A and B are shown apart, each in its own frame.
Chain A
Amino acid sequence: MKNTVISMRNVDFDYDQKPALQQINFEIPQGAFMGLVGPNGGGKTTLIKLILGLLKPQRGSIELLGTPINKFKNWNKIGFVSQKANTFNRGFPATVEEVVSMGLTAKVGYLRFFSRNHREKIKEAVDQVGMAAYLHENIGDLSGGQQQRVFIARALVSDPELLILDEPTVGVDTEHVQKFYELLHKLNHDKNITLLLVTHDIGTMTRHATNIVCLNKTMHFHGNPDQFSSLSDAELSNYYGHALNLVSHEH
């Protein structure tokens, strides 16, 4: 039986006593590629923050890699590419190598320094996302798609078992979105990294994900892509709270 990477049981979360998430129950097995979809304000980013330990649920329990989240210490096993990765300070004078090195900062620990092994790991991660030629370039000089790859390399450098990506393709051109999904596919299949992808790009995601959760304050759907695709327009519109046209397209 596969190990469970994330387990949420009866999780409720309120912002100032207003319910933001209610009765969240799901498990992500190791090696899964889970797509998290739902309308804006439906609680997707809140759910990610709960998983990352940035927020604490009022009720229910969360386990990461089999450990209750309040006792979880292995944060380097969780890679995270934030929505904000697109809005970083582009004038910041940091090379690709320097940005990716940040993924090892917590693992190396306080009062310790990067070793030659760490530098090799950084090069490997950059190579893995196809950015080796840009190792010494300033990140601000790269295109949106290239920057996104660098942030994925930063998340990968600590050898995570789970990679969480919060709307990573916002602001990335269509050609790079295609390459981005190819990269995710490679990480999921070849490296057996469990993926949790928050996205609005439902059409493309359903072709790659193994599980899909649809979230709008509570879980409206949890199943595989075939089950998701067989949902009627009326059911989807009901989950989203407004009419929805699902367009599946090849980039």
Chain B
Amino acid sequence: MLANFFQYEFLQNTLYTGLLIGLIAPLLGSFIVVRRLSLIADALSHVTLAGIAFGLLIEKKFAAGIITPFYSGMGFSVIASIFIEQLRSVYKAYQELAIPIILSGGVGLSVVFISLADGFNTDLFNYLFGSVSAVSRSDLWTIIVISVIVLAVLFLFFKELFMLSFDEEHAVVSGIHAKRIHFLFILLTALVIAASIRIVGVLLVSALMTLPVAASIRLAKGFKQSIILSVIFGEISVVAGLVSGYYFEIPPGGTIVMTSIIILLAALAVKRLRINFFTRRTQQ
């Protein structure tokens, strides 16, 4: 079953992309979750859908690849990330308001573009729920570039991002440029979402950024350990999800997320067993 993934080029593209997003999505997701920004990933993914619909519309109307849905999705996502930051500074007391504004704006725009194109066929379905056969070699190269950028920025600014995530006020007092670092972070989120969409799909991309982290923070001691665990969970989810999705002919978005949910439930059970074990030992 797994052998096919090494045999055919389109499956190779999918597998390599999957392994890359299994690494970068939970890695960035670790910061997103502890900063309580999980819903921002959702908002950005819906704007990415609008960008994809725009790209599909251009493809359909002009029958030419002036701009591919992948790039237009990424462009929309990056622009939306800038808007979110603007909105968060306008509504300082209601920063979460930026999320429904951007999310509904994204869905609204998607509906407009989809209607203008008189609907799409399977292409849109693939973008919504992911596909094992949708990644081209050029998509893979773009995703490799995105992954290298994300890994480099996270590596270079790890300590500043960690400090901002834990205690923003302390970071600002210490002289960290909170606004600039935060902006860089949101930009990375937009890029990771765009990179993940081919495999997981718009509707489930935020799950790959949050579910492995939700499982890891129940078990880990410390932030670095939590990141390592979340990446392991992310990779297991992607590989198991891709292979089972391919085998059962189900969009991989669904199988990846279901694998993540199983891992999360297992993590919760392990944590409960650990607590019971230690309580019993201390009682004895």
State the A residues within 8 Å of B (CB).
52-54, 73, 75-76, 80, 82, 84-85, 88-89, 91-95, 97-99, 101-103, 105-106, 108, 110-111, 113-114, 136-138, 154
Contacts and interface: CB of A to CB of B under 8 A. Distances in A.
Interface of B: 34, 36, 156-157, 159-160, 162-163, 165-167, 169-176, 216-217, 220-226
B95 to A, nearest CB: 16
A83 to B, nearest CB: 10
B222 A84 contact: no
Given A93-B220, A105-B176, A136-B222, A98 B162 contact: yes
A94 B222 contact: yes
Given A91-B217, A105-B176, A110 B166 contact: no
Contacts of B157: 110
B174 A88 contact: no
A50 to B, nearest CB: 12
Given A73-B175, A84-B169, A106-B176, 5 more contacts: A80-B170, A88-B166, A91-B217, A92-B34, A102-B166
A122 to B, nearest CB: 12
19 contacts: A52-B173, A54-B173, A75-B174, A75-B175, A80-B170, A82-B169, A82-B173, A92-B166, A93-B220, A93-B221, A93-B223, A95-B223, A98-B224, A99-B166, A102-B166, A102-B171, A103-B174, A110-B156, A110-B157
A111 B156 CA distance: 5
By secondary structure, the B interface counts as helix
**B157, B159, B176: most-surrounded residue (chain A CB, <10 A):** B159
Contact of B221 (A82, A95, A101, A102): A95
A214 B221 CA distance: 43
A80 B34 contact: no
Closest 3 CB pairs of A and B: A95-B222, A106-B174, A93-B226
A84 B169 CA distance: 9
Nearest to A84: B169
Contacts of B226: 93
**B171, B221, B224: most-surrounded residue (chain A CB, <10 A):** B221
A91 to B, nearest CB: 7
B222 A114 contact: no
Contacts of A136: 221-222
Nearest to A141: B221
Contacts of A99: 166
Given A54-B172, A82-B169, A98-B224, A110 B160 contact: yes
A47 to B, nearest CB: 14
B226 to A, nearest CB: 4
A89 B34 contact: yes
Contacts of B171: 102, 105
Contacts of A88: 166-167
A105 B222 contact: no
Given A88-B167, A93-B34, A108-B159, A98 B173 contact: no
Contact of A105 (B156, B174, B221, B223): B174
A203 B167 CA distance: 31
A133 B217 CA distance: 22
Given A82-B170, A84-B167, A102-B166, A114 B159 contact: yes
Contacts of B167: 82, 84-85, 88, 102
